[in-house]
Amino acid sequence: MLNSDLTQQIRDKARELLESKAAECVIGYETGSDGAIARPAFIYSPDGVERLVFDDTCTHNLASYLVNRKGKATAVVLKACDARSLNVLLQEKQVARDKVYAIGVACDGIRQAVWGRPKGELQDRCKACQGHTPPIYDVLIGQPTSPDPPAPSDFSRVAEMEAKTPEERLAFWQRQFARCIRCYACRQICFGCYCQECFVERLDPEWTGIRVAPAQNQMYHIIRAFHLAGRCIACDECQRACPVDIPLSLLNRKLEEETLEMFGHRSGLSAEAQAPMATFRPEELE
């Protein structure tokens, strides 16, 4: 359902930014080819802003596109969770703050949606929303609906998994990884996976090679999850992109829980926070 109020405000802001040349491009959402579900849209001229929409299918984390636009003034529509990834990118110095104009949206939640199919219920991440208001923005569209500090994360599915025996867990994950076709949609859609060359494709040294098989797939997913520890902001886009429904967010939630417990760290709440995996404190030796 189109949120006409938010949509209009986004269009107005986009027009203003493009007309004043404050931004060369506005990355937002437009209605997709099934006439119902939104998709990312790159708008370069004020004439194009009428394409922009905002509704409960705007699932994509548009911060993912920022790294490739390095150096070019870009405005981007960011939901509260997506805005956390902008903070992570700033913290990791992948984007320059003055080149990004964040159109933050206080969002009411996104529904599960598959192209051409009726919309489903609220996405899991939204049911466990940690705060509807973006932690970083240049303009805020919509009314902040939740107070600070952000709500705690929901680790109930991690707990369910941990209640199983190690054998059961191993069997579960082996079955999931056996199904993986290594299309890398999970990685490519991830804001945090911006490496020029992913370890999985490196030839020298070769970590996994080109073989698509359970052990290699497992290595890919586990290493990727580790690389996202303390960085993943739980947008769950990896899991949404997976064509064979591997519950990838479960791995990320586990590492999120660990980072929270060990370092008290929640990723993306501020651009100045220290990244636990990139910071060393002498007392950690203990």
Partner 1 sequence: MSLSTSSPRTESARRTGQGSVLTKDGLKVWLGRLLESHRVIAPAVEDGVLFFQPVSRPQDVVLEGKTAISPKGWVHPQTEVLFRVERRDGATALESPEEPPQQVLFGVRPCDARGIKHIDKVMLAEPSDGLYARRRERTALVGLACSQAWPECFCTSLGLAPDDASDVDVMLTLAGDIFLARAVTEKGKALLELAPLEDAPAGEPAVAQLAKFPTDGLAPAMKANFDSKYWAAVADRCIHCNICTFVCADCYCFDVRDAHVGGTVERLRCWDSCQAYGFTRIAGGYERRATKGERMRQRFAHKLLYYPEQFGEPLCTGCGRCVVACPVNIDIREIIQDVLKMGVKSATARAE
Partner 2 sequence: MQPYLATLKEARYITGDVKVLSVEINDPVAREAFKYAPGQFAFVSAFGVGESAVTFVSVPHRPGPLEFAIRRVGTVSAALHELDVGATLGVRGPYGNRFPLEDYRGKDILIIGGGIGMAPLRPVINYLLDHHDQYGNLTIINGARSPQDLAFAEEFETWAKAPRTRLELTVDRGDDVWKGRVALVPAVVEELKPSPANCVTITCGPPIMIRFVLQSLKKLGFADSQIVTTLEAKMKCGIGKCARCNVGEKYVCQDGPVFTFDQIATFLEGF
Residues contributing to the site for partner 2 (CB under 8 A):
203-204, 206
Q: How far apart are CB 6 and partner 1 at their closest, in Å?
A: 20
Q: Shortest CA distance to 63 belongs to which of 159, 169, 135?
A: 135
210 vs 262 by CB, closer to partner 1: 210
213 vs 262 by CB, closer to partner 1: 213
Q: Does 51 bind partner 1 (CB under 8 A)?
A: no
Please give the full DSSP string across 258-286, using - where no structure is assigned: HHHHHH---TTS-SSSPPGGG---GGGG-
20 vs 196 by CB, closer to partner 2: 196
Q: Which secondary structure element, helix H or strand E, spans residue 124, and what is its range?
A: helix 124-127
Q: Does 34 bind partner 1 (CB under 8 A)?
A: yes
- Cα 181 from Cα 259, distance rounded (Å): 29
Q: Which two tokens stand for residue 55?
A: 């509704």
Q: Shortest CA distance to 150 belongs to which of 226, 233, 91?
A: 233
- Cα 242 from Cα 230, distance rounded (Å): 22
Enumerate residues 6+ apart whose C-beta is below 8 A from 252. Answer: 225, 228, 232, 234, 238
Q: Which two tokens stand for residue 117?
A: 């199919």
Q: How far apart are CB 206 and partner 2 at their closest, in Å?
A: 8
Q: What, of partner 1, partner 2, none, does residue 204 touch, CB below 5 to 8 Å by kind?
A: partner 2
Q: What, of partner 2, partner 1, none, does residue 221 touch, CB below 5 to 8 Å by kind?
A: none
203 vs 285 by CB, closer to partner 2: 203
- Tokens 């964040």 — which residue? 102
Q: Does 187 bind partner 1 (CB under 8 A)?
A: yes
Q: Which two tokens stand for residue 157?
A: 């599915």
Q: What, of partner 1, partner 2, none, does residue 149 touch, CB below 5 to 8 Å by kind?
A: none
Q: Does 185 bind partner 1 (CB under 8 A)?
A: yes
Among 10, 17, 26, 41, binds partner 1 (CB under 8 A): 41
- Cα 204 from Cα 116, distance rounded (Å): 43
The footprint of partner 1 (CB under 8 A) covers 32-34, 37, 39-42, 60, 64-65, 114-117, 175-176, 179, 181-185, 187-189, 197, 201, 209-213, 237, 240-241, 243-245
